[in-house]
Chain A
């Protein structure tokens, strides 16, 4: 698939079929995550891939932002200890951006493989960490729900007045 197609046609999917995702495809998707850029190449992140139906259900229960029934969920955590020890307090902020970039890589690769996704921030971080049995320094930052799409949403209109060439200019429409 062309990169342009993936970028322009990926949508947030909130209805999935029950068909499971093959593990080798999930491995491909995770690989896309760890190949994302990171500040100073620190790679202060951890990726939990959850497929067990009970664990997926438990994650949904403490994640109000999940309004679908995904068959797998990737939880992207920041590694706060690693971020702080390598880059100080600023590192703990930069790692958020790193996790976001990893999420985008994950979603684009999923789309490339015919798998739908939706990125979620509305969840309880402590509850997710408890479900995953993750150590305290792993902070769940984003969830990416995954499954074969059962819908094909259209793209919401894009704001066109957010691009500036060379310098800021007042928009006539504002």
Chain B
């Protein structure tokens, strides 16, 4: 992905975050965690092709989030369990850095 494409993607992510912030004022509370983890997935999409020490990590948590994010509307416990799992993954990675 070129720098231009990444910045365009970040620009669009701002649109997602701003409209999420406004929308969440009147939406079910569980949509808040969903928008945040979906935002993480979108950010990872922009960054996973970049050469960096976090490349594999970005791909791994994006995969984990995308696999289970829609359980938010069918199985809330699984959805929350997924967040717990990626938080733990993140923390383990943080300790290594």
Interface, chain A (partner B; CB < 8 A): 14, 61-65, 67, 122-124, 127, 156
Q: Tell me if A156 and B16 are in contact (CB < 8 A).
A: no
Docked complex: B4-46 residues within 8 A CB-CB of A: 12, 15-16, 18-20, 22-23, 27, 31, 35, 38
Partner of B23, one of A14, A61, A67, A124: A124
Q: Tell me if B74 and A156 are in contact (CB < 8 A).
A: yes
Residues of B within 8 A of A123 (CB): 19, 23
Partner of A61, one of B12, B22, B27: B12
Partner of A64, one of B20, B70, B73, B74: B20
Rounded to whole Å, the gap between the CB of B48 and the closest CB of chain A is 18
CA distance A62 to B13 in the complex (A): 9
Q: Tell me if B19 and A63 are in contact (CB < 8 A).
A: yes
Rounded to whole Å, the gap between the CB of B41 and the closest CB of chain A is 9
Q: Tell me if A124 and B74 are in contact (CB < 8 A).
A: no
Q: Tell me if B70 and A14 are in contact (CB < 8 A).
A: yes
CA distance A123 to B16 in the complex (A): 9
Rounded to whole Å, the gap between the CB of B20 and the closest CB of chain A is 4
Rounded to whole Å, the gap between the CB of B77 and the closest CB of chain A is 14
